Structure 1
Amino acid sequence: MPIITATLAYLLIPALLIIVCQKFQLLDKIGVVVLSFGLGIALSASLDLPAFFAKDELLAMQINLTEIAIALALPLLVFSLDVKHSLSMAGDTMKSMVVALLTVMIISAAGALIFRDDLQNIWQIAGMSVGAYTGGGPNMAAIKTAIDADQDIFITMATYDILLSALYLMFVMTLAKPLFGLFLRPFKSTGIPLDSEHDKKFAHLADETANSYKVLVNFKTLPQTIQSLIFSGLVVGLAVTVSSLFPKSMSSAVTIISITSLGLAASFIPYIRQLATSFQLGMYLILVFCFTMGTMTDTSIVTNLNVDLFAYIGFILLGSLLVHALICKLMKIDTDTFLITSSAAIMSVPFIPVIAGALKNRELILPGFAAAIIGYVIGNYLGVVVAYSVRYLLGQ
């Protein structure tokens, strides 16, 4: 009974956070995702949770909840994406995004060779880093499951990622444009109307506030929410069935790749793509995932900094940014396009309007969304490829 109560608390506390953020704008600006993870860490630091519940039962519940939440969230986040439309928005934005993705892969692999004597299971770290910086946190979590990565490494990486990504965001919003503008050409408007029908394709991604979750408690959209969850469950069930046909050593990777591929395939079905609440439901499950992971965090990873891991993640962020900029110089890609695609890879979809606003260039919001979507869709594949490639190269 106590473990059931704990499970319900883990499922509902993110909802309370959403309500609080809807009432306090300052907290909403911080972001529900960051607050969910932060609250989990705070509870882990201030309360001895195993003292309230059987330690083994609590840990089993936490692991099961995180795995189920991320598995169901992946297809839900993909269902509403119009991938075909995103691919049609080509030009310099997509060229720059391809460079950004390749750069993250190359720098992550190069970093693994540099840090191989300093970090255990560096191949796992490299794979999860590629997921984080080509698609976002959900991709990193998915790759963690796919390659059976060490739980402690993942939690530490997630914590350091929040800290370093915040520094990256501040840099991009302040100093980056004048700095990179010294050697990259300025942006030239394409003259495409800002109020075009393209806006509708990305409207559900543009609202990163707590108010976006109100649709989940709207009685009119409740049937669509239920249907979204059912379709997601079917995707996960089918993926697990497919993975059972492979050797056990490959089952986790096959499951995640299958979930991603089947969810992507389902997004091409108009009825599923037009379900109004699938993206927000997926994001809510990400909140549950973040809060649960936070409560599993050993707070000593912040006070006793793992310098090598922190340096490796910093190496990827700084290295990929600089190499990406150099290649953009060679390809004659402008400053704003470079920064929006770098942010699309490293910070993911919800931050595109924020970055575009800081650049004072609303014209790049839609291409930025399109680029971020492509990164999110293929991030799982790229992360798994890099993880096993590095493992092979290092003979681990």
Structure 2
Amino acid sequence: MSVIVAAIMYLSIPALLVFLCQRFPLLDKIGVVVLSFGFGILLSASLDFSVWIDPQSLTNLQTNISEIAIALALPMLVFSIDVRHSLTMAGDTMKSMAVALISVMLISFIGAWLFHGQLNHIWQIAGMSVGAYTGGGPNMAAIKTAIKADQSVFITMTSYDILLSALYLIFVMTLAKPLFSLFLRSFQASETQQSSDKGQNHFSHLADETANSYKVLTQIKTLPQTLQVLLISAGCVGGAVGISALFPPSMSSAVTIIAITSLGLGTSFIPYIRQLANSFQLGMYLILVFCFTMGTMTDTSILTNLNLDLFAYIGFILLGSLVLQAMICKLMDIDTDTFLITSSAAIMSVPFIPVIAGALKNREIIIPGFAAAILGYVIGNYLGIAVAYATRSMLGG
């Protein structure tokens, strides 16, 4: 197998998984993101790629594809977001989201202090955790690149994150509302249905978490716009690389990721670019490529030989931030539904907002939930990198 053939495989297999999810609803319920990562792990466990390709060449290819995919995806995911509109979603939702972000950062740092003697690279783990649980998986991947985190630590964290986030989601959708309603007040409608429907237009492209959302990438009529999205994103990455060259080499990775995020965010204020078709979907497809590639790099022994300390640390962040946010929301008189949707906006990702709002039987919180999740995604890289270096400064490497 040549490097070119292997590269085509990494770029095309996620498309095959998307197609299968479109054909089989059961697979779609699992989610194409989880399937991409899981299928990559399956291939890693069942096939020895070194038979067909030089191991070092394969490692270099996997690293390059994963880093390029995440770098290009970051701007695409924010191009179509109306940030100005998102910031107008004020009130209790943004207060609660601010509490959620602070809770994750504080609990991550406390956890780093508690687990300092048990976990190597604890500052990297703390930073990536903040990225994952204030924004999402793309943030964790971006921070991993920014702080040059250990590859095996990142892959292990990704595996544990999938499992623990699934447990968190089940809890929020079932037991959380009855439990937290014991001491948080009930939700009171404050917005009209008309404003909710108007807001839906700003976020409708983010709401579809099914594989059908990728069908737009195959439409010939929007192909020129899709290519423009790719070129503009590449321009953001190139500009970020140029900016990073102005800084010392030790800071280049962090500066590059921050610059990519900032350039993508700034570009989203240009109406023409914000209205280009398929930017979010193309970015999500690159996330699938990233997940599949990282899955093929997984040492499956991390699943059979559980790292209890790392597993416990991630679990501590999820549970600890949830409890701390609930306590502060009680002091601030924030209602149960707003607390849960903002906690989910931080811990999970944008497409899960309608799912969680449906489980809470409250459609009115969908739009504020979108705004909160977008805020977390936009600033997640900044928060994660800041926590990583603050933890390293205080606790050492």
What is the TM-score when the length of structure 1 is the normalising length? Answer: 0.99
CA drift of 1:52 comes to: 1.8
Q: Are 1:347 and 2:348 matched, yes or no?
A: yes
The CA distance in 2 between the partners of 1:142 and 1:125, in whole Å, is 13
Deviations 1:223-264 (A, max 9, x none): 110000000000000000000110000000000000000000
Deviation at 1:180, TM superposition (A): 0.4
Asked whether 1:212 is paired with 2:213, we answer yes
Gaps of 5+ in 2: none
**Cα offset, 1:334, TM superposition:** 0.3
1:147-296 equivalent positions in 2, closer than 5 A? 147-193=147-193, 196-296=197-297
Aligned-residue offset at 1:395 = 2.9
AA aligned opposite 2:91: G
Q: What is the match of residue 297 of structure 1?
A: 298
Q: Deviations over 1:294-318 (max 9, x none)?
A: 0000001000000000000000000
Counterpart amino acid of residue 31 in structure 2: G
Paired residue for 1:69? Answer: 69
Query: Residue by residue, what CA displacement relative to the aligned partner does 1:92-147 show, whole Å, maximum 9, x if unpaired?
Result: 00000000000000000010000000000100000000000000000000000000
For 2:386, the aligned partner's letter is V
Q: After superposition, give the CA deviation of every residue in 1:149-206 in whole Å (9 maximum; x if it has no partner).
A: 0000000000000000000000000000000000000001114115532111001001
Structure 2 residue matching 1:349: 3-state secondary structure: coil
SS at match of 2:277: coil
Q: Quick one: which amino acid aligns to residue 264 of structure 2?
A: G
Structure 1: unaligned runs, 5 residues or longer: none
Q: What CA distance in whole angstroms lies between the structure 2 residues aligned with 1:297 and 1:51?
A: 18
Q: Secondary structure at the match of 2:96?
A: helix
CA distance in 2 between counterparts of 1:262 and 1:380 reads: 13
CA RMSD in angstroms, aligned pairs only? 0.7
**Per-residue deviation at 1:276?**
1.3
Bigger Cα displacement from structure 2, 186-195 vs 203-212: 186-195
Matched ranges for 1:43-192 at <5 A: 43-192=43-192
Contact 2:123 2:396 in 1 (8 A): no
Provide the residue aligned with 1:21 in structure 2: 21
Instruction: Indicate the residue corresponding to 2:339 in structure 1.
Output: 338
Cα separation, 1, equivalents of 2:27 and 2:256: 36
Amino acid across the alignment from 2:58: L
**Letter in structure 2 aligned against 1:93:** T
Kept in 1, the 8 Å contact 2:240–2:260? The answer is: yes
What is the one-letter code of the residue matched to 1:2?
A: S
Distance 1:41 1:357 in 2: 32
> Does residue 38 of the first structure (1) align with residue 38 of the second (2)?
yes
For the residues of structure 2 that align with 1:240 and 1:287, how far apart are their CA atoms? Answer: 24
Distance in structure 1 (CA, Å) of the matches to 2:169 and 2:243? 39
Question: What is the DSSP-based 3-state SS (H/G/I as helix, E as strand, rest coil) of the residue aligned with 1:308?
Answer: helix
**Paired amino acid for 2:212:** N
- The separation in 2 between residues aligned to 1:11 and 1:196, in whole angstroms, is 37
**Which whole-Å CA distance do the structure 2 matches of 1:196 and 1:339 have between them?**
22
Whether the 8 Å CA contact 2:119–2:309 is kept in 1: the answer is yes
Q: Secondary structure at the match of 1:63?
A: helix
Cα distance in 1, alignment partners of residues 376 and 16 from structure 2: 31
